[in-house]
Amino acid sequence: MITSQEEIAPRRGEKKKRALVLWSGGLDSTTLLAIVRQQGFEPVALLFRYGQRHAVEVEAASREAVRQKLQHHIVEIDLSAIGGSALTSGEIDVPRGRELEDMSTGSIPPTYVPARNTIFLSYSLAWAEVLEVADIFIGVNALDYSGYPDCRREYIDAFETMANLACKSSTEDGVEISIHTPLIDRTKAEIIRWGVELGVDYGATWSCYAPHWSAAAAEPLACGECDSCILRRKGFIEAGVSDPTRYR
Amino acid sequence: MITSQEEIAPRRGEKKKRALVLWSGGLDSTTLLAIVRQQGFEPVALLFRYGQRHAVEVEAASREAVRQKLQHHIVEIDLSAIGGSALTSGEIDVPRGRELEDMSTGSIPPTYVPARNTIFLSYSLAWAEVLEVADIFIGVNALDYSGYPDCRREYIDAFETMANLACKSSTEDGVEISIHTPLIDRTKAEIIRWGVELGVDYGATWSCYAPHWSAAAAEPLACGECDSCILRRKGFIEAGVSDPTRYR
């Protein structure tokens, strides 16, 4: 796994290399997209409509992709048939109003989606082979209390090892697949400051797990109470950056 | 990875353990299903309708699943959007009439589907978490010239390592996920003999990559010329078992 900018910069004089980016339209992966561009890659974004209880994030991302003239592909899969998560099953509630201490107990929260990153990365591997791309970026973050097992460095390293044994490109054509995780050790505030430097428009990103539709507002509002809203809000405060999110 | 029968037998006195089985309706995975039952598991089959150019295999499997009263789930995904394989793209031809020597050159044939086993196994991992199942069976086979990188033992071992870092069940609940591959080192003839011992009805399995529909026959016929037909036919001859396949 290569994460520093120096190591992954494409060689000069060559045509711009493409990189696959797992993009949800959220704060982390939208910052990631700007980082990928800064590092000299031409991003190809993969968006997943995976049977989320709400698709506000994907819709925001689709609009943003068109505005940015970003190469992107929307993968349609149905993880709600599998369930097991507050994000895909109506039978499991999204936690609200949790204190930071409650989030940092080390236990995995109900918003964890079984094998989601493994499924997403597997699709990116198929696309990487077909597009002859060696670099895959994912905006996982091991800090900020997410507690998701598939956001940790040891998981990503193991996926990368597996990927290089799985593919035609790596086993026959000598392409080494790298899973890049530049955000993995960053706090939310650091990510936001990095994104602001790169000109990310956070008003066009969506993080809330439980959007609120009201008759008064044309667009849904963020709940302000789910773990994702709480961490996002805290991140803007700590970064000293004005939070463009419209909370209910 | 555990492959011998002794090691994976469920403990006596307990309720029958469930195992997930990646099942295509083909010769190998239908034999696998019988092996899983023989080893004392209650199989839960995962079938994938993945945008194959033909779905004869899946249809045969669906009928068989109902007949066998088998717990099964059909996963609908579209790998044809990704392409890159003779099995998912109309732009790549299925090789026909190849000699065995041509198949055993070590190069990966055009019927390889990018990251297919990785995607399938990823779904099985999500199901394993939700069903609280620790055992996943896949009928990969490293012999018989397939040349697919994602059918080799080192790939399966790497997937298993990754899986145990990916999941809530393995990281929080102490469940160790095992990917079982009892067919990995078997020849086609050995697989057929094993299946015959277990009462597998090979007339209800489908292997051909390029089925032939004729007005005269109610059901499609196997082409007899694709790699899969050639290996299947050779397997029955070597096993000394009468081949129930209807070739065109």
Report pLDDT digits (tens) over A44-86.
999 999 887 777 888 888 888 888 889 999 998 888 888 888 8
* Cβ <8 Å between B165 and A155: yes
From A17's Cα to the closest Cα of chain B, the distance in A is 19
- Backbone Cα Rg of chain B: 18
Residue A39 pLDDT greater than 90, yes or no? yes
Which residues are paired to A136 by β-bridges?
A: A20, A179
Confidence of residue A10 (pLDDT cuts 50, 70, 90): very low
Residues 6 or more apart in contact with residue B110 via CB below 8 angstroms:
B85, B86, B92, B93, B94, B95
Cα distances (angstroms) measured from residue A97 to each of A188, A225, B142: 18, 5, 52
Nearest to B126 among A114, A125, A163 (CB): A114
Give pLDDT tens digits for A222-233.
999 988 899 999
Chain B hits for A116, CB-CB cut-off 8 Å, are: 126
CA pseudo-torsion sign B29, B32, B33, B34: positive
Query: Helices A116-131 and A153-166 meet at what angle, rounded to 10?
Result: 40
Of A76, A81, A166, the CB nearest to B149: A166
Phi and psi dihedrals of B140, rounded to 5?
Answer: -65, 155
d(CA B207, CA A90): 39
Rounded to an integer, the average pLDDT of A82-109 is 81
Residue B36 has pLDDT above 90, yes or no: yes
Is residue B8 predicted with pLDDT exceeding 70?
Answer: no
Task: Tell me the fold of B5-201.
Answer: Rossmann fold (3.40.50)
Whether residue A9 has pLDDT greater than 60: no
pLDDT value at residue A14:
57
Q: How confident is the model at residue A193 (pLDDT cuts 50, 70, 90)?
A: very high
Cα angle value A129/A157/B180 (rounded, 5°): 80
Tell me what pLDDT residue A135 has. 97
Which pLDDT score is estimated for B9?
Answer: 37
- CA–CA dist B165, A160 (Å, integer): 13
Interface test with B, best of A49, A85, A159 (most B CBs within 10 A): A159
Distance CA B218, CA A164 (A): 44
Tell me how far apart the alpha carbons of residues A127 and A18 are, in angstroms, rounded to a whole number.
Answer: 12
- Residue A164, both tokens: 């290089």
Per-residue model confidence (pLDDT) at position A166: 94
| Per-domain boundaries in chain A | 5-200
Best mutation site among B76, B155, B157, B160 for testing chain A: the one with the most A CBs within 10 Å? B155
Decide if B182 contacts B207 (C-beta within 8 A). no
DSSP states of B177-231: PEEE-TTTT--HHHHHHHHHHTT--GGG----SS-B--SS-SS-BB-S-BHHHHH
pLDDT 10s digits, B108-159: 888 888 899 999 999 999 999 999 999 999 999 887 666 889 999 999 999 9
Measure Cα distances from B74 to A81, B24, B71, B79 in Å. 10, 10, 10, 15
Please tell me which residue, B157 or A3, carries the higher pLDDT value.
B157
Measuring CA to CA, which residue among A204, A190, A75, A199 is closest to residue A141?
A190
Portion of chain B with pLDDT greater than 70, in percent: 93
How far is A21 from A138, CA to CA, in rounded Å?
Answer: 6
Distance from CA of A106 to the nearest CA of B (A): 9
Across the interface, do B118 and A108 touch by the CB < 8 Å criterion? no
Given 3.40.50.970, 3.40.50.620, 3.40.190.10, 2.60.40.10, which CATH number is that of A5-200? Answer: 3.40.50.620
How far B209 CA lies from chain A's nearest CA (Å)?
A: 20
Q: Give the pLDDT mean for A197-219.
A: 88
| A95: DSSP letter | P
CB A82 within 8 A of CB A88: yes
Residue A202 to chain B, least CA–CA distance (Å): 29
Is the CB of A162 less than 8 angstroms away from the CB of B158? yes
Do residue A108 and residue B171 have CB atoms under 8 angstroms apart? Answer: yes
Q: What angle do CA A116, A122, A124 make, to 5 degrees?
A: 105
pLDDT-derived band of residue A142, with 50, 70 and 90 as boundaries? confident
Query: B7 pLDDT exceeds 60?
Result: no
Percentage of chain A with pLDDT > 90? 52
Band (A181; pLDDT cuts 50, 70, 90):
very high
Cα–Cα nearest to A128, from A48, A30, A18: A18
Cα-trace Rg, chain A: 18
Distance in Å, alpha carbon of B135 to nearest chain A alpha carbon:
15
| pLDDT confidence of residue B5 | 34
